[in-house]
Amino acid sequence: MKSNNLLDTPIEYLKGVGPVRADMLKKELKIFTFNDLMGYFPFRYVDRSKFYKVNEVKTDAAWVQLKGKIKGLQKIGKPRGGRLVAYLEDDTGRLELVWFRGFQWLMNKFLPNEEYIVFGKPNLFNGKLNIPHPEVEAVSETQIHLGDKLQPFYYSTEKLKSKGLDSRGISKIMKTLLLQVQGIIPETLSEEMRKELKLIPREDAILNIHFPKNPEILKRAESRLKFEELFFIQLNLLKLKLIRMEKIQGNLFSVVGNYLNDFYKNCLPFELTGAQKRVIKEIRVDMGSGHQMNRLLQGDVGSGKTLVALMCMLIALDNGYQASLMAPTEILAQQHFKSISKMLEGMDIQVALLTGSTKAKQRTALHDLLQSGHIHILIGTHALIEDTVKYKNLGLVIIDEQHRFGVAQRAKLWKKNITPPHILVMTATPIPRTLAMTFYGDLEVSVIDELPPGRKSIKTVHFYDKDRLRLFGFMQRQIAEGRQVYMVYPLIKESEKLDLKHLEDGFESVSRAFPLPKYAVSMVHGQLKSAEKDYEMQRFIKGETQIMVATTVIEVGVDVPNASVMVIENAERFGLSQLHQLRGRVGRGGDQSYCILMTKDKLNPEAYKRIKTMVKTSDGFEIAETDLKLRGPGDLHGTQQSGILDLKIADIVKDEKILKYAREKAIELLNDDPHLEKETNSPILKELNKLTRNRPNWSLIS
């Protein structure tokens, strides 16, 4: 009898795999077991029931299958290297086939009067179509089953191909596997749910996703598997939330006391916006509920999240707790430290700064003060959640983030105290709804959907490099009016040296165009020591320099109201949310502000779309949606490492509807059976446990 454990069999034991290929499969595709291979889905299908005639092959857009004789085989070019060409002839004409390796074998393969089936993707070369490296099979020996109309295509890598595991090779071992496991592929959803949602059984879905019997069943297989994938992500997130609500006590912030009241009466530099008031209230209620708060605060650049953060920290203090604020970069941590210390001037509150560059001696002193409770608010970078940092009673952690701060990192904080602190994650830029649902699906959400009054909208224009003189003229006029200018250069990680050179060249040419003593130019980049960075930033903040040449180290949070011009060099190289962040550095004072996007002359369509989007809108939510659509979720900043978004089949952009539906269903299920104890839900519980076992990021509360 076949047993369920068969699916856990190491992949080397599959017929046709063996130790060498198994090794490669593990390394290249993380396929360790039968089950893993089964979950390696094709990315595309090609209809092998259709045969083209040579004269019907007119573009290089689609894969084609032809039938005919192979003529005129000859080697061209150098004895070693070069290429082998031949022609496929049918009654409508002939089409060139070309190979760049495997000559010897190919020379002997083809018989002159035999009929062959040729399959491949046409390529346009020197104005003519040919087919490079086609699959060729004699009609008499063909392995193509006429039943397999849709042939699956699997991603492969050079290394796998060298071991015979190209798409075709993978499809062969897949077939072997499926024949072996057919009949024991477990169902993961309850019968009720499947019926209600009209989803096909998992086994049918798996068999047909690999070898679809027809296009209709392929569609149903896809829907079933997409739903399942998104459903379990949502279920996991919601279950985490449930466990937290049930098991984890929260610090009860029951009072609104003197700190907040004093601050509100005496220190608040301006009237809060309606949105700020609303979210502070949401947060206050949450922290006063007895549960641990896990909340996401979304707000566009400049919407005043820092002030909200500060007021929430004061609530913690009022209840006798400490609070900390974590920033993604050192510069930003320093800025927060300065601006918050300033806002709290005159109040009896101790604020401290802890970053990677805090000296050991200071650090020790700081640790003591934290543990004794003499420090009320700690501001810093990732350093402040290191295990060595111990608090007297940390009540609230606020994460002002740039990188996605995933569930795993949040979980680390849950362990920070016997009763874990409340957590508020603030986004640097808005996140699209689907991404928020997937990535922060376990959090409550607050949104600041209003900018402080009196903000003038920023004028955004697109200049080409050839407009540089105009740019400099414009900068001169702005500086003459007392304004300051940022010029930002892109950072490409692969080559920091080259980046620095770009920046330094830029600095030089700007310094030539804006010479001393009339002008002064600052430069800041990531390789400067923190004291040097700080010195340069301070000169700019104080207005001693008029132009700040920088890399994206200034991307987040830097706040100089007098700076009214943001020039972004090589803007085509930046992602949309980054451009939006950078633009948000200006428009903070009362003056009309400008963002100038400098690009090279020729832009690819995607870059063009990004630039156009920036010129057209300043709505961060709209920009985030466009960004997600243009780039796809896999590319978004910081999401790769998360593990959560390695989706096998679903796509959170294209499958937004399924995602919402999956979330609804997960909520419904947990409302009805919070611990998944009902017999009918046992397949769901089993699958969830398996997933959390196999994906460390998923299982967070021990």
Q: Is 598 helix (H, G, I), strand (E, B) or coil?
A: strand
Is 273 a residue that touches ligand ADP (CB under 6 A)? Answer: yes
Nearest distance from C-beta of residue 627 to ligand ADP, angstroms: 17
Cβ proximity of 371 and 391 under 8 Å: yes
Our CA dihedral for 426, 428, 434, 435, rounded to 10 degrees, sits at: -90
Is 299 a residue that touches ligand ADP (CB under 6 A)? Answer: yes
Site for ligand ADP in 562-591 (CB under 6 A): 588
d(CA 641, CA 649): 18
User: Which partner in Mg ion, ligand ADP, none is near 333 (CB below 5 to 8 A by kind)?
Assistant: none
* Choice between 297 and 644, CB closer to ligand ADP: 297
Which of 130, 303, 427, 551: binder of ligand ADP (CB under 6 A)?
303
CB-based burial, 230-269: b 16+ in 10 Å, e otherwise = bbbbbbbbbbbbeebeeeeebbebeeeeebbebbeeeeee
d(CA 631, CA 577): 11
* Choice between 396 and 437, CB closer to Mg ion: 396
How many CB atoms are located within 10 Å of the residue 222 CB?
19
Q: Taking CA 527 as the corner, what is the angle to CA 522 and CA 531, rounded to the nearest 5 degrees? A: 65
Sign of CA dihedral 383, 389, 391, 397: positive
User: Which string of x and - marks every residue 434-473 that binds ligand ADP (by CB under 6 A)?
Assistant: ------------------x---------------------
* Choice between 152 and 557, CB closer to Mg ion: 557
* Choice between 306 and 417, CB closer to ligand ADP: 306
User: Which string of x and - marks every residue 26-65 that binds Mg ion (by CB under 5 A)?
Assistant: ----------------------------------------
Which residue's Cβ has the minimum distance to ligand ADP? 304
Nearest distance from C-beta of residue 451 to ligand ADP, angstroms: 8
Phi-psi region of 482 (alpha: psi -120 to 50; beta: other; left: phi over 0): left
Is 299 a residue that touches Mg ion (CB under 5 A)? Answer: no
Nearest distance from C-beta of residue 305 to ligand ADP, angstroms: 3
Options 78-86, 205-213, 270-278, 592-600: segment touching ligand ADP (CB under 6 A): 270-278
Nearest distance from C-beta of residue 402 to ligand ADP, angstroms: 11
Where do we find the tokens 């949450």? 286
Q: How far is CA 658 from CA 187, 224, 661, 687, in A?
A: 19, 10, 5, 19
Options 148-156, 235-243, 271-279, 457-465: segment touching ligand ADP (CB under 6 A): 271-279
Is 305 a residue that touches ligand ADP (CB under 6 A)? Answer: yes
How is residue 583 annotated by DSSP?
Answer: H
User: Which partner in Mg ion, ligand ADP, none is near 221 (CB below 5 to 8 A by kind)?
Assistant: none
d(CA 185, CA 480): 74
* Choice between 21 and 585, CB closer to ligand ADP: 585
Is 152 a residue that touches Mg ion (CB under 5 A)? Answer: no
Nearest distance from C-beta of residue 450 to ligand ADP, angstroms: 9
User: Which partner in ligand ADP, Mg ion, none is near 638 (CB below 5 to 8 A by kind)?
Assistant: none
d(CA 571, CA 550): 14
Alpha helices in 618-672 (DSSP H): 620-631, 656-672
Is 270 a residue that touches ligand ADP (CB under 6 A)? Answer: yes
Which of 190, 234, 276, 642: binder of ligand ADP (CB under 6 A)?
276
Is 441 a residue that touches Mg ion (CB under 5 A)? Answer: no
Which of 557, 587, 633, 683: binder of Mg ion (CB under 5 A)?
557
Nearest distance from C-beta of residue 311 to ligand ADP, angstroms: 10
- Enclosing H/E stretch for 594: strand 594-599
Nearest distance from C-beta of residue 401 to Mg ion, angstroms: 10
Give which of 609, 356, 562 is closest to 462, Cα–Cα: 609
Pairing type for strands 135-138 and 294-299 reads: unpaired
Is 587 a residue that touches Mg ion (CB under 5 A)? Answer: no
* Choice between 194 and 305, CB closer to ligand ADP: 305
Q: How far is CA 441 from CA 45, 420, 437, 496, 671, in A?
A: 33, 19, 4, 36, 16
Nearest distance from C-beta of residue 132 to ligand ADP, angstroms: 51
User: Which partner in ligand ADP, Mg ion, none is near 506 (CB below 5 to 8 A by kind)?
Assistant: none
How many CB atoms are located within 10 Å of the residue 646 CB?
12
d(CA 503, CA 491): 9
Q: Is 429 helix (H, G, I), strand (E, B) or coil?
A: coil
Options 29-37, 104-112, 302-310, 597-605: segment touching ligand ADP (CB under 6 A): 302-310
Give which of 13, 11, 43, 100 is closest to 651, Cα–Cα: 43
Residues in binding contact with Mg ion, number by CB under 5 A: 1
Residues in binding contact with ligand ADP, number by CB under 6 A: 15
* Choice between 273 and 446, CB closer to ligand ADP: 273
How many CB atoms are located within 10 Å of the residue 422 CB?
27
Give which of 182, 145, 125, 220 is closest to 2, Cα–Cα: 182
Nearest distance from C-beta of residue 409 to ligand ADP, angstroms: 20
Cβ proximity of 57 and 224 under 8 Å: no
Nearest distance from C-beta of residue 312 to ligand ADP, angstroms: 13
* Choice between 190 and 329, CB closer to Mg ion: 329
User: Which partner in Mg ion, ligand ADP, none is near 429 (CB below 5 to 8 A by kind)?
Assistant: none
Distance from CA of residue 563 to its chain's centroid? 31
Nearest distance from C-beta of residue 309 to Mg ion, angstroms: 8
Q: Could you list the residues that contact ligand ADP (CB under 6 A)?
A: 270, 272-273, 276, 299, 301-307, 452, 559, 588
Q: Could you list the residues that contact Mg ion (CB under 5 A)?
A: 557
